[in-house]
Amino acid sequence: MNTLLGNFLRQSGFVLLERHEDGSFGLLSKAPEWFVQFWPAALCDDKFSIQENSPFLENFLVDAEIFWNSGKAGLCESGTWIETNAAGEQIALEARAMHLDGKQVLAIFSPDTQYQEKARVLQTARNSQLQHERLLREIQKKEILLHCIVHDLSQPLSAIRGSFDCLALGNDPESAAKFIELGKHASEQQESMIREILSAFAADLQADLNAERNINSAPDLLSTAKEAASMISPAFSAKGVRLSVIDNNSGQTNWRVRGEETRLRRIFTNLLENALRYTPANSSVTIGVEDEGVSLKAYVDDEGPGLPADLRPAEIFALFGKEKKNGGKAGLGLYFCRVTVERWGGSIGCASLAEIGSRFWFRLPKAPLNGIDSAVKKAEQSKDDRKRMKQENRRRLRILLADDQEDIRVLTTHQLQRGGHEVVVVGDGQAAYEAVQTGNFDIIFLDEEMPVLTGVETVRAIRDFQKGKGVSNIIVAFTGNNTPEDRVRLMGAGFDAVVGKPFRLESLDAFLNDPTDIKSLGSPPDERSRKSGASLEALLQRVGGDEKLLRQMMRTFLRDTPERLEIISKALKRKNGTDLAYYAHALKGSLGIFGAGEAVRHSQSLQDLGRVGDFEESGRVFGLLQEEIAKLQQNLRGYAKEAKAESSAVGKEVQSKAKKAKKRKR
């Protein structure tokens, strides 16, 4: 066969095969090596079966047959297929059916170079397509997220607006307090959502990662769990759900994990919020930690309905992966937990419990120990051992703490727990009263000014409830109104003791060592801190030498104060004396922690002026207060830096001083 096309095909690398009438094939051209390895019979037989070794060709020959029989001009193409040779190499092949010189011809060739080029172009095109799809999905997700955020953020706003509407309708102080609390709760909810969003999508991820790598700041899993439980306990009390932390790992002292404390606490908070959402009233939620060797595991068990059967654990932790029937938020909380835990090299999961409820757990690698850490660990261990021995020698108290201010709650709870006491924390008087009705407490601490029920109203309600039951708790008032007249007034209302804010944690500790000695409580203002805050050493003394706690308090103060000042400023503009007095009082409590005597005095004046409705003088005092707070903020920022450098040295010194002072007292 010497047609022009035939020659061209041969020169182009095609193997030409003639199809015989019996369906077999014979070579019309030389068979190259790649052909022989698949059809060796071609070399020795004039007629051989081409389809025998190739299911693909067998299939193509059906089409080829139709083409040949049709007598049409042109070609019938097979498309590319891959054959694998004995050495495991994959060879791309293509076939054409055609008529040549009156014969039915099958042309096969290996389009190696073209194939590689085609595959490369297709790979690039598809990779681009996939990348494009991914980007589109990201954009879509962000749009949905934006929609969810707008939707979820608008819910608390509706509650806030509703509270304002209700406040505008009437002037009943009790209802007003309730609506203010409702509005506050909604705004806190909104703030928490914003924090979640920022955490999940923060641009400064790398900076966070660097912080996480700092092993010296590795958080303690157990104490973070306790802190989170303590912070969220008001919400549990409100729903009537018992919240407990299992701490029966007496031999274990190192609970440090890889991660960062604030976000670890948020993981616990998210899991607890999730548990609370699904747990019915009068049931329990339990937090526990376990040592698994190279990693530590934390879990939150609830007594809710368990996980939906049609939902996989991995889906629950997906973005927007909430259980749709029960609503919830934008589905960010658990997503945040997963992303954060995985970023720290851990894992997260959930499962239904055998009888009732579900368990949400996460596992984090233990913080690595280098030489310095080992030394720190040893020191801490012996410190903890001594502490434990001391605690075992004294009575463990069950304490109820009611305070509407987060910083006071955190500070006091921390100190009480450090003393080995069990603390139930609530955020208002009503919750405290309800807690007393259902639980037994050795001592109750009540803030004087709280929403729903004030401290005085609460103590009266508790005394009335306990009358005739043979029970009478020691009830202590926390108050910023600490004049001799105030003390007489509060003792007359039913309190056993009055603690003026700011108070020293060591005096609180001394009181708890012997609760019958109520004289040990007393807190003269720190003379050294009249101007704009105590020294770093004095501040550390206030928190029992706990630099971590101090840093946390500083962060909370620096974070919350601008907002509080803004609220006070608005109350002044609107001439709202109640709000002015309330928020000035709240601010006073925080300022007291940092020994800012002058600022505390201005807050007290502002509170008094708010009560009597003197807005002209209030404006002037507010200006002075702002100046004092600005100085304090500046000092605290400086301390934060200083604390980093000096913290361990000063902390140890202060702790040692505190211990010596205690010994002397004994």
Partner 1 sequence: MIQKKICMIGSFAVGKTSLVRRFVYSIYSDIYQTTLGVKVDKKVLRVDSTDVELMLWDIYGEDDFQKMRWSYVRGSSGYLLVADGTRRATLEKALALEQKAREEVGKIPFILLINKSDLVQEWDLDAVLESHFNAKKWTVLRSSAKTGENVEEAFTQLAKKMLSQP
Report if residue 75 touches partner 1, rule: CB under 8 A: no
d(CA 11, CA 109): 11
d(CA 537, CA 649): 11
Report if residue 139 touches partner 1, rule: CB under 8 A: no
The CB-of-81 to partner 1 minimum distance in angstroms stands at: 5
The CB-of-329 to partner 1 minimum distance in angstroms stands at: 18
Q: Which residue has the tokens 């309730």?
A: 178
Q: Which residues does 364 contact at the CB level (< 8 Å), separation at least 6?
A: 221, 257, 258, 259, 295, 296, 298, 341, 344, 345, 346
Report if residue 147 touches partner 1, rule: CB under 8 A: no
Report if residue 363 touches partner 1, rule: CB under 8 A: no
- For residue 219, whether the previous peptide bond is cis, meaning omega lies within 30 degrees of 0, is no
The CB-of-341 to partner 1 minimum distance in angstroms stands at: 13
The CB-of-630 to partner 1 minimum distance in angstroms stands at: 46
Report if residue 154 touches partner 1, rule: CB under 8 A: no
Stretch touching partner 1 by CB under 8 A, among 125-133, 142-150, 255-263, 491-499: 125-133
d(CA 1, CA 14): 14
Stretch touching partner 1 by CB under 8 A, among 113-121, 170-178, 287-295, 519-527: 113-121
Which CB, 176 or 311, lies closer to partner 1?
Answer: 311
Which CB, 64 or 553, lies closer to partner 1?
Answer: 64
| Distance linking the first and last C-alpha atoms of the chain | 118
CA 102 remoteness from chain centre: 78
Residues 317-336 that bind partner 1 (CB under 8 A): 317-319, 321
Report if residue 132 touches partner 1, rule: CB under 8 A: no
DSSP letters spanning 306-329: ---TT--HHHHTSTT---GGG--S
The CB-of-318 to partner 1 minimum distance in angstroms stands at: 4
Q: Site size for partner 1, by CB under 8 A?
A: 35
Residues 7-66 that bind partner 1 (CB under 8 A): 55-56, 59-60, 62-63
The structure tokens listed for 228 are 């989170």
The structure tokens listed for 260 are 């960062």
Q: Which residue has the tokens 């990662």?
A: 209
x/- mask, partner 1, residues 263-302, rule CB under 8 A, reads ----------------------------------------
Stretch touching partner 1 by CB under 8 A, among 174-182, 304-312, 356-364, 367-375: 304-312
Stretch touching partner 1 by CB under 8 A, among 274-282, 306-314, 465-473, 477-485: 306-314
Q: Which residue has the tokens 């899993």?
A: 221
d(CA 436, CA 469): 13
Which CB, 6 or 331, lies closer to partner 1?
Answer: 331
The structure tokens listed for 465 are 């409830």
Query: Of residues 92, 215, 353, 630, which one binds partner 1 by CB under 8 A?
Result: 92
Taking residue 584's Cβ as centre, other Cβ atoms within 10 Å add up to 28
The structure tokens listed for 18 are 């003639």
The CB-of-26 to partner 1 minimum distance in angstroms stands at: 25
Which CB, 79 or 102, lies closer to partner 1?
Answer: 79
Which CB, 174 or 315, lies closer to partner 1?
Answer: 315
Is the alpha carbon torsion for 77, 83, 85, 91 positive or negative? positive
Report if residue 199 touches partner 1, rule: CB under 8 A: no
Burial state string for 42-51 with b = 16 or more CB within 10 A and e = fewer than 16? beeeeebebb
Amino acid at 361: W
Residues in the chain: 666
The CB-of-666 to partner 1 minimum distance in angstroms stands at: 57
The structure tokens listed for 231 are 């912070």
d(CA 99, CA 130): 42
Bridge-partner residues for 425, per DSSP?
401
Which CB, 317 or 615, lies closer to partner 1?
Answer: 317
Query: Of residues 52, 174, 315, 563, which one binds partner 1 by CB under 8 A?
Result: 315
Query: Of residues 81, 217, 262, 384, which one binds partner 1 by CB under 8 A?
Result: 81
Report if residue 74 touches partner 1, rule: CB under 8 A: no
d(CA 531, CA 516): 35
Query: Of residues 20, 72, 132, 137, which one binds partner 1 by CB under 8 A?
Result: 137
The CB-of-49 to partner 1 minimum distance in angstroms stands at: 17
* CA proximity to 475, closest of 460, 486, 485, 489: 460
The CB-of-342 to partner 1 minimum distance in angstroms stands at: 10
Q: Which residue has the tokens 């100190």?
A: 415
Residues 451-480 that bind partner 1 (CB under 8 A): none
Report if residue 187 touches partner 1, rule: CB under 8 A: no
Bridge-partner residues for 90, per DSSP?
84
Amino acid at 167: L
Q: Give every strand in the sheet of 358-365, ordered side by side.
A: 242-245, 284-291, 295-301, 358-365, 347-352
Residues 509-568 that bind partner 1 (CB under 8 A): none
The structure tokens listed for 262 are 């604030």
Report if residue 488 touches partner 1, rule: CB under 8 A: no
Stretch touching partner 1 by CB under 8 A, among 127-135, 395-403, 563-571, 604-612: 127-135
The structure tokens listed for 101 are 């010189």
Query: Of residues 36, 43, 119, 194, which one binds partner 1 by CB under 8 A?
Result: 119
d(CA 601, CA 56): 92
List interacting residues with partner 1 (CB under 8 A).
55-56, 59-60, 62-63, 79-82, 84, 90, 92, 115, 118-119, 122-123, 125-127, 129-130, 133, 137, 310-312, 314-315, 317-319, 321, 338
